[in-house]
Amino acid sequence: MTYGGDGGGRWVPPRPAQPSGRPRQHQPAQMMPLPGRGRSPYDERTRPMGSRGEQPPPPPPRQAPPRGPEGAPAPRPRRRRRWRPGRILLTLLLVFVVFLAGVWVYLEFSIKRVDALANYDGRPAAASGTNWLIVGSDSREGLSKEDEARLATGDTSDAGGTRTDTIMVAHIPDNSTKPTLLSLPRDSQVKVPGHGTTKINAAFSLGGPSLLVKTVEGATGLRIDHYAEIGFGGFANIVDGIGGVDMCVDKDMNDPMTHIDIKAGCQTLDGRSALGFVRTRYSDATPRSDLDRVANQRKFIGAMVSQMASAGTLLNPFHFFPLLSSAPDALTMDSGDHVHNLVGLALAMRGISSDGVVTTTVPVTSASAEHWDKNKSQQLFDALRGDTEVPAGVITK
């Protein structure tokens, strides 16, 4: 049977009419691919990387860091530092070293200087060990009238010029023998160059430190390598600066000349009492006059140096800084001396209170201490010059 007269063929629906003037275009038929055959539009997304002949997709473009106002880069968040114990200790050590360096420089450039050591014909040759000349002068320089009254020093006219209340030679050996602190009584009759024979302390008022050094070198035969001087006011200020010095006094000391009244027993001496303690020789506690006075001076210096070098002073700001501020005005050194020389002296003298230092006076012939025992004093000076042990028979306490 036939439909529509197509001669028995299959029926095909009629195509829509094309606009006139346009050629008819044929579009190929698209068929959905069967599973497993042909390409899929999702193949590019699902194909594994590293396939043969294929490159991995490029990385995403790098984005610029966020910017703050006006196009400035935004600051990165700061990482908090962790302070480890080793780093803290290293920082504290560095601060301590810088502090010590500052103190060292301060003292080096603030301590007063004087030309005390001079070369001259006939000067003793350098021998073993190192010798310091330590002088305690009765200079009132820098003291007000109130200070003079408080310290009972008297005025300059009473003193008859600047003299020395204390003359000591500190010998520091180069070997294992003990250091020696030797007192030279101030009334000792010696030859003063250019002035004949007179009291040794007159050399200071006649020609200052340089003449005193020359006089001591001539009388002892020891070459003086370093010089240190301290006055009345400076001594008292140092003692007050470290909070006083602990001393044990054997007998009551009542001296009308120095206006002190110190009771027997262990106590802390302030600057005024300490100055009286090292000066007094007119009391029942000092029957040998100047010999007892120089013995008290050595005893006090040992206690003071030990206390100055103690942790209680160096680590206590209420003692350390007053000491530091008073030292430059109190001390006078030779122009060639330095702070490290002074530190070496202090370290050597720390053993005075513990019998680690030999303390003695030049052997004399009488209690007036005006004349030296020539034989014994020569043995003493020879021992110091040769760094040998001081014979017990020449030690005078």
Residues 124-167 pLDDT 10s: 999 999 999 999 987 656 566 666 666 666 555 554 457 788 99
Lowest mean pLDDT segment, chosen from 70-74, 284-288, 313-317: 70-74
Residue type at position 376:
K
Residues 149/158, Cβ–Cβ less than 8 Å: no
Reduced to 3 states (helix: H, G, I; strand: E, B; else coil), residue 271 is helix
Q: Could you identify the residue written with the tokens 């190929």?
A: 28
> What percentage of the chain has pLDDT greater than the value 90?
49
pLDDT above 60 (res 1): no
Give the pLDDT confidence score for residue 32 in this predicted structure.
57
Residues 327/239, Cβ–Cβ less than 8 Å: no
Residue type at position 334:
D
Alpha carbon distance 380, 386 (integer Å): 10
pLDDT band at residue 58 under the 50/70/90 scheme: confident
Give the pLDDT confidence score for residue 217 in this predicted structure.
97
pLDDT above 90 (res 334): yes
How does the average pLDDT of the chain come out, rounded?
A: 83
pLDDT above 50 (res 7): no
pLDDT above 50 (res 387): yes
Residue 265: beta bridge partners?
249
Residues 326/304, Cβ–Cβ less than 8 Å: no
* C-beta neighbour count of 9 within 10 angstroms: 9
Hey, which of 27-41, 156-170, 316-330 has the most confident mean pLDDT? 316-330
